[in-house]
Structure 1
Amino acid sequence: MSKSWKYALALFFITLAIYIPSLNNGFIWDDNVIIDHQIHTLRDARTFFFPVRTQESTPAYYRPAVGLSLVLDYSLHYKNPRGYHLTNILINLLNVLLVFLLSLNLFELMEVRHRHLLSFMAALLFALHPLHVESVSWIAGRTDLVVAFFSLLAFLSYVLFRKEKNISVLLAGFVFYFFALLSKENGIGLLLLFPLFDLLVLRKKLHKTLLPFVFFLLITASYFYLRYRAGCLVAPPGAGEEPTLFSKAITLIYAFGFYLRKLVYPLPLSMFIDEVPHELYIGLLPLLYLFILAISLMKRGRAAFLLLWILLTLGPSLLIAISRLASTPLAERYLYLPSAGFALLVPYGLYRVGRPIKKEVLLLYLLVPYLLWFAIETLDRQRVWKDDLSLWADAVKKAPRSALPHNEYGMALRERGLIEDAEREFLTALTSNSRESKSWKAYAATNLALIYMDRDEYDAAEKYLKEALEFYPNYPIALYDLGLLYLIRAKNEGENGEPNRALLIKAGKTLKRAVRADPNFIRAHLMLGEAYYLYGKPEKAKEHLEKVIELDPRSPEAQDAVKLLSKIETAGESRDEKVD
């Protein structure tokens, strides 16, 4: 067996052993939104490329390739989280092996001795980095795994094209680059990495890099055209006062410094980073990075390429810190693809330091304690991502002033029957003074209402649902819960076995608003069908009940819809018999 195969097998089993615990994880946070809502919007090729927008969609995100992977999982595993987690583990495994292959070829072109050992250390650093737990253990974090997979394939194809002068490999690189763009926005960082590789690693003249670059540019233009057609080209405005240009620049500097520090020293690990830190040393790290980059560029050092890999693949994610597109301005998962550059840079840097004194191998082995520390932290972090309760308990400790973690922690407590603790968390979220979107307070108010509905305190529940709709007027879940509340009251407050008509009308109007806000909201269609049935409009009821079955024929809601449709058919036959 060759040396490459031995190292590759070692990487395979180490990576598998590190992440196998995540197979036991459940669906967490956004996973349920994806499985219950967003997957049902992806029905054919058109909806993959031009997705149907729901209330849960983020207009600036355009990720058809990730959607395809989730639909394939859904068709194979339905609502069994183990299958989705297995896919994440396998994609991460492939990425580790791709980092190893890319390192082997890059270090060969850089004329590095001991390239197998360096490549193994680089891939192992990538495999064990604790920041990757968020991407691997969270199903919704798959976007970073998929964009890294296609980006690494694209770049490896380009490197092999330059080595072997094989046009078919370059054509494959074009395809992989297109899929990287269709996976996540930071795939666009490759556009500049291709010519930079030619200039800094191969040291080609500028004009010799232009022809492939033109084709990559055309692919990028096609991607932006698709984004435009899908309505994903312009980000929506954020809430609140718009920061000044100077303020945005300062935020970008500190955000970049934060990510640089996280690559080297990832603790404390947190899935909810609610603000950009402004410590002095964080602000100085980008200056240190630019200083080292400038020296490397002046000396035409190849380390400059790896330094630029970090910046260019992180660039689109840095913009989130100033654009308010996501729940938090920063996230550890955004470093998944940039960390490939870091993983190559560290062993290469140690090699360059040790080469003049002929101690390069010794210096590489100094990485072993660092890697062991990473492995321990990665294994330990798996426990936090086991379920919603452990994840949000950790998030509340690290972001105590933010509404979202308290709301999500409350939901996890409520699911386990810890109602008083859940109520406390929802009230904390509702009364928090955080700068988050008002939508999070709407979620908290809605969850409080559910507690009061369970206690049959309908007046209090109605009050909180109306408060939720003041924060977020078209919030589908609040509209659904309010419609359900009216429906329950209509049944309870009727006379002579007939529901209260006034409340039934209010239920129907509110549920109609819910399905307008989210046309694929299965439960809202089911309850609206029941409301129409009780009101005596069977044809309207059938329309919404059949929609439930169309959206997800295997769901419990579909089974309830079938039963109600059967009732409607039976009632219709009885009427026909009386007429006859």
Structure 2
Amino acid sequence: MMQEHNTRLLYLISSGLVILLTAVLYARVYAFEYVWDDLPLFVFNHSLRSYPEWVSAIFTPILPDTTYFRPLVLLSFVLEFAVADADSSISHLVNLAIHLVNTALVIFLAQKILKSQYSESRQAWIWPILAGGIYAFHVSLVESVAWVSGRFDLMVTMFLLLGFCASYVSKFEYRILLVTFAFLCAALSKEMAATFPVLLVLLWWLNNYSQKNILDFYRDWVQTKEKWIILSLMGCGLAYLLAKYLALDGALIHSDYATVAKLGSVGRHLALIGHTLLFYLSLLVWPFPNSGPMQPFEVQSMTQIHMLQGWGALLAVLMFIVNTLLKPNQHKLIALMLLLSLLPVLNIKVLTIGGNIGHERFLTFPLFFFALLVVSIVSAIGNINYSSLLAKKVYAGLSLGVLMVWVLVSALNVNITLPLWRNDYTLWKWMYLRYPDELKIQYSAISAAIRARDFNFSKEIITRSKKDNDGELPSILLPLSAQLSIRQYQFDEGISEMLFAIEELKKIEKKLSHTTRPTPSGTMANMYSFAYSALTEAYIGKRMFSQAEEAALRAKEFAPSYVPTQFLLSLALYGQGKSEQADIEYEKALKMSIPLAKKESQLLKAQFINQLCINQKMNVDEVCKEK
């Protein structure tokens, strides 16, 4: 009894220590800014911060021209912003809190699942703690925790793990309700939840029938009440699909059609799936060289060797699955669960992820099974019959030591990688230095550098891009080049460049209209909005206020919720002496802005009106009287 009490105490203390160390390791995220997709989602778009706009916004796909339906996570942002407005510190702390909860759930589930494998009760506490450590300190989770938009992966993982926990509730009526509710919440958080019903069946197989093949397992399992839980989950899944169908006007699934066109054949597609699987497995085992938000992969560059590698990976997985179904054991079943959890992100339906083969954040849920598998294997080493007790201790100690060193190395890499997510500028400068030839990374790096006013770095990227393209700047970078001129007060040059960039965008739109849709939507609309907004800024700089108003209204046609355009429109109206109308538009801009941007807007407005009244060459008497 005393030994059991001491073991339990060690387990609780160690669990708390892992969670505390994780909190300390990630504490710096409190000072981080919104980056990457956070900017169009939360900073430049006020929909989730305004009533009644948020009611429809939470049922809108998070990315243009996609079917990503994630209302529960978006609702969490609505609630957060209602309490604390859009404060990046609060957003990051919420993400960290969810990561800590997930770590605790991993430890709890590891203790439940691996309990039967412990060779000695006094060692029972160490294995779930190690599983929690592998999960908490894995460097691939930096993206989910340090990036506010990583909450989609954190929340789906939390609810799926809670669903597994609920499967251990003893009373069946509570168990079926809790498991179904957790699955519904997970599905409303991210599409990663799709494989949960099958994973739950495999968990029951693992817990109760791990030595029986699939036929024997099925005969026993179908006699239990658990089958009703699966039927409940299927009904819940159908209800989710119906809600998605209604919310998205009949759209249930999409694909990256540009990548599909590049693949060209089923064989190349299968090779891509195989390489995606190898990519994630390599990130799980040895993530250190490839950590980062961008993982570019050009499908057209796949050689015959690459295709054979992809096919070989799929064949190996298929053989493993067959072997596991016929001759299962604990390790094989956990590995099968790991593979199944990766299924939604293997590019079976090609994902819209900007030309990347995958993302680290997609491992937030599969990492649970990886941690479980590693600990299961290492703990089993101590149960092997060795020739001597010394050999047993050496092998067990060596494997445990290697695992602990790996966890330490991963934690050190988290400590090194984390600051690179501090703001959009540090993030994209890091990625550009790693992948200087990737066009989409060039775009993000230039944009971030301009906002950070590092014009030299922006020029460096633009110059390199021109050099690599025979002196021609790619069309997608033309609006940024024009914005760079505008931000350096070269307004005439900037206006000329931007008008040319808009004409080039029209050519792209016309080309796309033959393959997609005839009107600009999604990404194209955002590009137009940005271009006309920057043009507004240039016209204001030239004191061409009527043209600025016209450009701002044009920008709002494409993206009505784009906050910078709203503010620039108010300045254009002040410049024309339309004080009353300008005040209305300015108040709208303040209402749409996050707290930090409100202060900046107030300062810029004061400076603008001060300069306007000092150099009073237009009819702005009414504006200057109110100054």
TM-score bucket of the superposed structures, by smaller chain = 0.7 to 0.9
Question: What is the number of residues matched between the two proteins?
Answer: 553
- 1:387-443 C-alpha deviation (Å, 9 max, x unpaired): 33432232123222201222333344444543233112134457767xxxxxx9566
**Structure 1 unaligned residues grouped into runs of 5+:** 434-439, 493-498, 575-580
Q: Does 2:90 align with 1:68? A: no
Alignment match, 1:258: 279
**1:220 maps to amino acid:** G
**2:242 maps to amino acid:** Y
- How has the CA–CA distance of structure 1 residues 89 and 112 changed in structure 2, closer, same or farther, with 3 Å as cutoff? farther
Contact 2:50-2:592 within 8 A present in 1 as well: no
Tell me the SS of whatever aligns to 1:322: coil
Alignment match, 2:346: 318
**1:151 maps to amino acid:** L
CA distance in 2, matches of 1:42, 1:417: 28
Alignment match, 2:411: 375
- How has the CA–CA distance of structure 1 residues 230 and 42 changed in structure 2, closer, same or farther, with 3 Å as cutoff? farther
Higher relative contact order (CA 8 A, sep 6+): 2
Alignment match, 1:151: 160
**Mapping of residues 433-512 of structure 1, within 5 Å:** 444-469=477-502, 470-471=504-505, 474=525, 475=527, 476-489=529-542, 491=543, 504=546, 506-512=547-553
CA distance in 1, matches of 2:144, 2:111: 25
Alignment match, 1:235: 254
- 1:161-210 C-alpha deviation (Å, 9 max, x unpaired): 3xx23422432222221111111111222121112222343235342342
- 1:221-246 C-alpha deviation (Å, 9 max, x unpaired): 12212222222523265337353232
Alignment match, 2:3: none
- Residue 130 of structure 1 and its aligned partner are, at CA, apart by 1.2
Contact 1:84-1:139 within 8 A present in 2 as well: yes
- 1:481-513 C-alpha deviation (Å, 9 max, x unpaired): 123323443x25xxxxxx6xxxx1x43333222
- How has the CA–CA distance of structure 1 residues 52 and 98 changed in structure 2, closer, same or farther, with 3 Å as cutoff? closer
- How has the CA–CA distance of structure 1 residues 79 and 443 changed in structure 2, closer, same or farther, with 3 Å as cutoff? farther
- How has the CA–CA distance of structure 1 residues 23 and 262 changed in structure 2, closer, same or farther, with 3 Å as cutoff? same
TM-score (normalised: structure 1): 0.84
Contact 2:274-2:314 within 8 A present in 1 as well: yes
RMSD: 3.6
- Residue 537 of structure 1 and its aligned partner are, at CA, apart by 6.6
CA distance in 2, matches of 1:300, 1:355: 18
- How has the CA–CA distance of structure 1 residues 468 and 66 changed in structure 2, closer, same or farther, with 3 Å as cutoff? farther
Q: Does 2:134 align with 1:93? A: no
- Residue 536 of structure 1 and its aligned partner are, at CA, apart by 7.1
- How has the CA–CA distance of structure 1 residues 45 and 344 changed in structure 2, closer, same or farther, with 3 Å as cutoff? farther
**1:450 maps to amino acid:** Q
- How has the CA–CA distance of structure 1 residues 12 and 53 changed in structure 2, closer, same or farther, with 3 Å as cutoff? closer
Tell me the SS of whatever aligns to 1:370: helix
- 1:281-305 C-alpha deviation (Å, 9 max, x unpaired): 6764454444444333322213333
- How has the CA–CA distance of structure 1 residues 128 and 230 changed in structure 2, closer, same or farther, with 3 Å as cutoff? same
Q: Does 2:330 align with 1:302? A: yes
CA distance in 1, matches of 2:268, 2:586: 52
Contact 1:146-1:183 within 8 A present in 2 as well: yes
- How has the CA–CA distance of structure 1 residues 21 and 287 changed in structure 2, closer, same or farther, with 3 Å as cutoff? farther
- How has the CA–CA distance of structure 1 residues 41 and 91 changed in structure 2, closer, same or farther, with 3 Å as cutoff? closer
Contact 1:255-1:321 within 8 A present in 2 as well: no
Q: State which drifts further: 326-335 or 252-261.
A: 326-335
Tell me the SS of whatever aligns to 1:61: coil
Q: 1:225 aligns with which of 211, 229, 242?
A: 242
Tell me the SS of whatever aligns to 1:2: helix
Q: Does 2:363 align with 1:364? A: no
**Mapping of residues 274-285 of structure 1, within 5 Å:** 274-275=296-297, 284-285=312-313
Between the aligned residues of both structures, percent identity stands at 21
Alignment match, 1:426: 462
- Residue 215 of structure 1 and its aligned partner are, at CA, apart by 0.8
**2:246 maps to amino acid:** R
Tell me the SS of whatever aligns to 1:275: coil
Q: 2:202 aligns with which of 196, 213, 236?
A: 196
- 1:502-535 C-alpha deviation (Å, 9 max, x unpaired): xx1x433332222121121222223334445656
Alignment match, 1:210: 227
Contact 2:334-2:373 within 8 A present in 1 as well: yes
Q: Does 2:362 align with 1:334? A: yes
- Residue 344 of structure 1 and its aligned partner are, at CA, apart by 0.0
CA distance in 2, matches of 1:407, 1:540: 35
CA distance in 2, matches of 1:332, 1:119: 23
CA distance in 2, matches of 1:101, 1:177: 19
Contact 1:130-1:378 within 8 A present in 2 as well: yes
**Mapping of residues 537-548 of structure 1, within 5 Å:** 541=582, 544-548=585-589
CA distance in 2, matches of 1:561, 1:424: 29
**2:485 maps to amino acid:** Y
Tell me the SS of whatever aligns to 1:528: helix
Alignment match, 2:422: 386
CA distance in 1, matches of 2:115, 2:183: 23
Q: 1:247 aligns with which of 254, 260, 268?
A: 268
- How has the CA–CA distance of structure 1 residues 202 and 408 changed in structure 2, closer, same or farther, with 3 Å as cutoff? same
Q: State which drifts further: 466-475 or 10-19.
A: 466-475
- How has the CA–CA distance of structure 1 residues 294 and 38 changed in structure 2, closer, same or farther, with 3 Å as cutoff? farther
**Structure 2 unaligned residues grouped into runs of 5+:** 1-7, 210-216, 387-391, 510-523, 614-618
**1:271 maps to amino acid:** P
